[in-house]
A and B are shown apart, each in its own frame.
Chain A
Amino acid sequence: MVDPGWYMALAAALFLIGALGLLVRRNALVMFMCIELMLNAVNLTLISAGRALNDLNGQVAVFFILVVAAAEVVVGLAIIVAIFRLRSSASVDELSELKG
């Protein structure tokens, strides 16, 4: 059995990559994918913690996170498409003005 700490380290690395991408990229879609990457890192953490603690509730929590993430993706992509219709751009830098 691989030590859960190694899974934690992998999840931390994935989370760091996602966070850096979110801060560096400026295409709204790519930033959104980085958020998904961070969510997956947290899910991996929960799974390995639940296994180490011999508790199924970690997997139940991951199940709920998956559902909420799916809802988040649906609404977020709809917002990106709506913004693209108004601006014909997916760059977050061009959304800096507070006007409709």
Chain B
Amino acid sequence: MSLLELENVTASYGHAEVLHGISFVLDENAAAGILGANGAGKTTTLRAISGMVATTGKITFDGKDITGMRPDQVARLGIAHVPEGRGTISDLTVHDNLKVGAYQRHDRKQIATDIEFCLDLFPNLRERIGSNASALSGGEQQMLAISRAIMAKPRVILLDEASLGLAPSTAQRVYQAIRRLRAESSVSLVVVEQNAMLAFSVVDHAIVLEIGTTSLSGTKAELMGMDAVRRAYLGG
């Protein structure tokens, strides 16, 4: 059964419609990618799912219509969104950021275990556990933002341009951790990326957006075989 489903979803900022009817399916325990150039509507698609932008159409999560819900309501249902530009709570320490991630949970022991899991996944954070998030490097902030999402114990993580602004080796480390997360947990992922190679290292299938509409969709192998995708996103 599909876990998350978008049917003909549009989204607008004020009067400007930027998504013109996207459909998209994410299965349980799967990872799907949303690729495309700048301004194609990738981020807006995630924002639509999280209720951060005015939408029409229908968004279903686990059989429940979540269209028009507030971001905190969507989050409480089990969708954790790692926004573009990291979105850490900069005045709080790394440890407090992780606790904020676990805000809706009450299983204290398991929370401690999960903090340990995050610190194991991103050893950099262990060294910075008492530092304010604002003092972290860009890569560390990204790791913290992802960890905060993990701490919510979500069923889906929406990951928006996790490689943005990071050195290539740091971006690789971040994606390595995401692959490990996928292997070791049952969480599903929606991965938005401009860097298609990084996205394909995690996802099974993807859609390609072009100015607010779906231009292509397919499995990883299908898409990687297409000339158009290779030329536009994989550097030849």
Q: Do A and B associate with each other?
A: no
Q: Which residues of A contact B (CB under 8 A)?
A: none
